[in-house]
Structure 1
Amino acid sequence: MSTEGRSAEPASATSALESAGFVRLIARADGDGLAASGLLATALADRETPFQVTVGRTVTERSERARSPTNEGDITVVVGTADTAAETDEIRLAGIDRPSTLEAVDLVRELGATPDPVLALAGVVAGGSDPGAGETEWLLETALDRGLLEQRPGVAVPTADPADGLAHSTRVRAPWSGDLAATRDALAGAVDDESDALDADDHRAIASLVALDAVGAAEATDAAAASIGRLLRPYATPSHAVATLGGLADVLEALARTQPGTGTALAMGHDVRDAALDAWRERGRRAHAALEGASTGRYDGLFVVGIDDGPVEAVAAIAAAYRSPEPAVLTVGNGAAAIATREPEPLGATVEGIARDLEGAEPDAETDADVTDVEYDIGRRRGYLRYDGDVDDSAIIAAARDLL
């Protein structure tokens, strides 16, 4: 189950891609993975190098695809962790110590291409980092200098209509989240219905209202203040199909798990805006509805959220940002679980350990079903588990408590 392996050095990776007859891009199912694969796919298209992009939901899925036979001269690029030992025809952008997007940016530049700074920054934001921080400073400066980004008052949502954007965003949690009508009612005192006519004062009024509602909600925790700060004063994207940088990150996160083909197309600049936003809205609505009806439990260092149905990773991320009094959240659903943290913790060993514990779980007393098939995935702030059988939630919680 080990996901250790080596990443190809930039010089050898560049040489391999320059001489490749065909490139298979196998991406991790998150916004960072989609952005990284989109950057590479665009560079390959510009070079007229044939390629194929697929998204693997778990380490097992990516590993199986990476092991499948290839023709001579083909190159495989794995974005994310995998169980294969990297060979000369495999390039690994693991995205553990730094976002996969930044590894892809380095590789694209080595190929002599110019990476899209907006997509690159969106991938970084999706991975939980702030645009312009650290080694992303030059990307932000480039995007601003080229007029691709413009910072303004307001909130970072994908749509020009703030009510639509806020109702379905997974980057904010307020009493009206997930309910478009309730969100419109909440904003009624701040703006009129003409969203296209919003000026700077309107955007400021919206931001103030949203911040107060998010931080002042009955179940909000201290973390909500820092989390809502990342939603405010967005970078608008005047020439992009999605309205803001943070909104693009949210959409990429949604598409990676629900419609990866559409997500890949969006990352490559194709006209899939309507389909992308529809998928994003549905995921956001389901996530907020699931959190609304969730059961919760608090342990030392861990906040547990139990849901009947919904996207476990989105629920875990929202809870970690706005509802959890502990630094880590475990969301348990029907056959899936997710871990989210507020800091970029190394979760690989933790998630692998939980998977091993579940594989060895005792059969359910009523169904006599044995849990033998467990798959998982890890990112910089998250973990995901998918399992067969009727394993009791207590087994997952116990494993997580022991390892976190």
Structure 2
Amino acid sequence: MSTTDRPDASAPAASDVAARLRGADFLRLVAAPTGDALAAAGLLARAVEGPYQATVAAFPADAERATGADCTVGLGLETGDVAVTDAPVSRLAFAVADALGGADPWLALAGTVAAGAEPGGVPLEAADTERRPGLAVPTADPVDGLAHTALAHGSFSGDREAAAAVLDAADSGTDEDTRRKRASLVALAVAEESTPRGATAVERLLRPHAGGPFRTAGGYADVLDALARTRPGLGVALAAGAGDREAAIEAWRVHGRRAHATLVAATTARYDGVFVAQCEPGDPDHDPPLGTVARLLAEFRSPEPVVLAVADGRAAAHAADGVDAGRVTAAAAEAVGGTAAGTPRAARARFRADTTEFAVAFREAL
């Protein structure tokens, strides 16, 4: 299990990691399937001078392969010669890249937002950005952005017509006034149908840090998180500075539609301390994005502090402060002969048992 976010976790110093990377003839970067870890991989890939290989792996066992690398760095994952697991991992990766001679502040800001943290420090200063009114989306069209964002969930999610209906009343003269009103209308729409946590969670979508390759730091974060979970190859290329922006935006749209559709169609049950969502694929050719579904349910729908989203042989958990999702998920996976990885806030598992059996084991571990 990763020790990300744990108070007793010992994070490696940026200078120590930089020294290891300088001495590597061939570097391997292994990122967890999150926007934060993907951003960290991109920061390091852009900073190193020698050859490297970058991959995304959901579990440490998936990262075990024979390569010629003489140094492997795990990002958000307990694997390799160096494991960077204190979230946001992109924050330390920025410091390492800076020590190596060059770091992209926008990539660091996006990783920080993807981790659910507030941007700050040197990356924010280097990006020379300020918060402005409006929505943190990666597209010029706010309707497109609102319909497909995974930074919030509401009646507008996954539906362009519904998103347009929310925003139609926002035209009020100046661009700044219009952006401010759009944000207010979205916040109101979320508040009307969300749990109290949603009023706080929606703030990631509002008053964005403007700029960067995807218009806002939040929009960039949303794209990276979508790619990490559904198109990791494209995500690695994009984070390393060579990906197709339009392909990334389309993958982000698809991820948003699938996540929101899966959430709406899920069969849910409330237990003491945990909200369980049984998810169907919807699209037989693609697995439902359980990690995103679990987070959205936890932030905007669940009356309980922990959400467990399960589908055939897979599960994702998301927890509020005070509950260790990583520990509970690992215990449940062990009970049914599966495997798990993640952090106290968000974890994932795979198993061969029935989904109901895993859900029962999860509740018992909780």
TM-score in terms of structure 2 length: 0.90
* CA-CA distance at 1:271 after TM superposition: 4.9
Q: Which runs of 5+ in 1 are unaligned?
A: 360-373
The AA in structure 2 aligned to 1:91 is V
* CA-CA distance at 1:9 after TM superposition: 5.3
- Which residue matches 1:121? 109
The AA in structure 2 aligned to 1:233 is R
The AA in structure 2 aligned to 1:139 is P
Deviation string, structure 1 residues 91-145 (Cα, Å, up to 9, x no partner): 22123xx32112212322332x23211111111111111222xxxx33222322x
Q: Which moved more, 1:172-181 or 1:379-388?
A: 379-388
Q: Given the alignment of the two structures, is residue 189 of structure 1 paired with residue 169 of structure 2, yes or no?
A: yes
In 1, the alpha carbon distance for the partners of 2:169 and 2:13 equals 55
- Which residue matches 1:78? 74
Q: Given the alignment of the two structures, is residue 356 of structure 1 paired with residue 349 of structure 2, yes or no?
A: no
- Which residue matches 1:207? 183
- Which residue matches 1:138? 122
- Which residue matches 1:175? 155
* CA-CA distance at 1:182 after TM superposition: 2.1
Q: 1:298 to 1:24 in 2, by over 3 A?
A: same
Q: 1:54 to 1:8 in 2, by over 3 A?
A: same
**8 A Cα contact 1:60 1:375, kept in partner:** no
- Which residue matches 1:273? 245
**8 A Cα contact 1:59 1:375, kept in partner:** no
- Which residue matches 1:56? 57
- Which residue matches 2:96? 107
The AA in structure 2 aligned to 1:234 is P
* Rg (Cα) greater in structure: 1
In 1, the alpha carbon distance for the partners of 2:257 and 2:310 equals 18
In 2, the alpha carbon distance for the partners of 1:378 and 1:125 equals 18
- Could you say what the CA RMSD is over the residues aligned between the two structures, in angstroms? 2.3
Aligned pairs (5 A) from 1:4-403: 10-44=14-48, 47=49, 49-62=50-63, 64-65=64-65, 68-70=66-68, 74-82=70-78, 90-95=81-86, 98-111=87-100, 113-132=101-120, 137-144=121-128, 149-191=129-171, 199-217=175-193, 220-237=194-211, 240-309=212-281, 310-343=288-321, 346-359=324-337, 374-379=338-343, 381-388=345-352, 391-403=353-365
Q: Taking every aligned residue pair, what percent have the same amino acid on both sides?
A: 41
Q: 1:344 to 1:29 in 2, by over 3 A?
A: farther
State the 4+ residue runs in structure 1 displaced beyond 6 angstroms: 4-7
Deviation string, structure 1 residues 315-354 (Cα, Å, up to 9, x no partner): 1111111001111111112221110123385433222211
* CA-CA distance at 1:209 after TM superposition: 1.1
Q: 1:215 to 1:353 in 2, by over 3 A?
A: same
**8 A Cα contact 2:24 2:71, kept in partner:** yes
Q: Which runs of 5+ in 2 are unaligned?
A: 4-8, 282-287
In 2, the alpha carbon distance for the partners of 1:102 and 1:182 equals 36
Q: 1:229 to 1:3 in 2, by over 3 A?
A: closer
TM-score in terms of structure 1 length: 0.82
In 1, the alpha carbon distance for the partners of 2:174 and 2:257 equals 25
